[in-house]
Amino acid sequence: MGIFSFVKPGKQIFKTITSVKPKVNKTKLDTAKSKLAIATQKTKASGAKLDQTLFESKNKAFRGDDFTFSPKTGRSKKVSEQKAKGGRVGLKLGTKKKSNVEKIKKTFGTLSVRAGIDNNPNPTYADKIAGAKMKNKKKKKKVI
């Protein structure tokens, strides 16, 4: 007896579920029954938790470091604390964030190199001179 003895090609045996009606209590009695069912399920769940904890307290090998349903200690994080913040959220982990000091050294150290005065990438007095000359050139261009 294979599956083909039960299912025939092209025939529908079971109805297709198209929608599910919501459970809305119409009377006070229905509401009370619903609340009783919920309370019953909560009682069953707490009983199962208690049984599991008792089992783990008797069998130390099963427990490991902590109980399965151990009470939470400390405060939980707020939703705003869990979300990622800042301007580097989507960047790869390997990229290094430059400090302001490094940015200043790079820009002012290379001014004299870009101007062709010297080849020293570190900030020197020549960078100060090159920066002043570049500033004067920018002002002249705006005047014209």
Per-residue pLDDT of the chain (144 residues; tens, 9 = 90+): 566 666 666 777 778 888 999 989 999 999 999 999 999 999 999 999 999 989 988 888 877 777 888 777 766 666 656 666 666 666 666 666 667 777 777 666 677 777 777 777 777 788 778 877 776 666 655 555
Sequence-separated (6 or more) residues with CB below 8 Å from residue 97: 88
Element at 28 (helix H, strand E): helix 28-58
In residues, how long is the chain? Answer: 144
The pTM of this model reads 0.37
